[in-house]
């Protein structure tokens, strides 16, 4: 079984347990999308995500901050807080500030996101 399929199964299991709108399931959904983007649209995924294995590029981090920049979802301020979660959380919060506060960067990210979304729609 490949990584994208494993992520899809984790997402579906989360949906079955918590419902499709559950905040807890957002990370699984976004991780699956990232995997599929690099599989089907690598030339569009790279400007949005950076690389598959490294910290996300600013556009991906900005648009996914509702999940990975959310202290509730990431378990920040909880007894089970993990250092890796704090690093991911901080990266997404920085992206919110850098992109959200700059109209030109925001528009550039919208164009990058739109190109990736179009490619993913064509691939499915």
In 3D space, the residue among 105, 83, 87, 108 whose CA is nearest the CA of residue 96 turns out to be 105
Q: Residue 57 has which token pair?
A: 């590029």
Q: What's the pLDDT tens digit per position in 38-72?
A: 999 999 999 999 988 777 899 999 999 988 888 87
Enter the pTM of the model.
0.83
CB-based burial of residue 108 (10 Å sphere; 0-12 exposed, 13-18 middle, 19+ buried)?
middle
């Amino acid at each position: 079984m490949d990584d994208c399929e494993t992520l899809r199964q984790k997402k579906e299991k989360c949906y079955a347990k918590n419902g499709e709108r559950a905040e807890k399931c957002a990370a699984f959904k976004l991780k699956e999308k990232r995997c599929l983007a690099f599989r089907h649209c690598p030339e569009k995924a790279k400007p949005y995500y950076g690389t598959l294995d490294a910290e996300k590029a600013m556009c991906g981090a900005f648009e996914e901050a509702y999940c990975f920049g959310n202290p509730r979802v990431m378990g920040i301020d909880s007894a089970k807080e993990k250092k890796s979660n704090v690093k991911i959380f901080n990266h997404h919060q920085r992206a919110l500030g850098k992109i959200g506060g700059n109209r030109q960067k925001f528009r550039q990210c919208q164009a990058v996101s739109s190109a990736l979304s179009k490619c993913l729609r064509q691939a499915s």
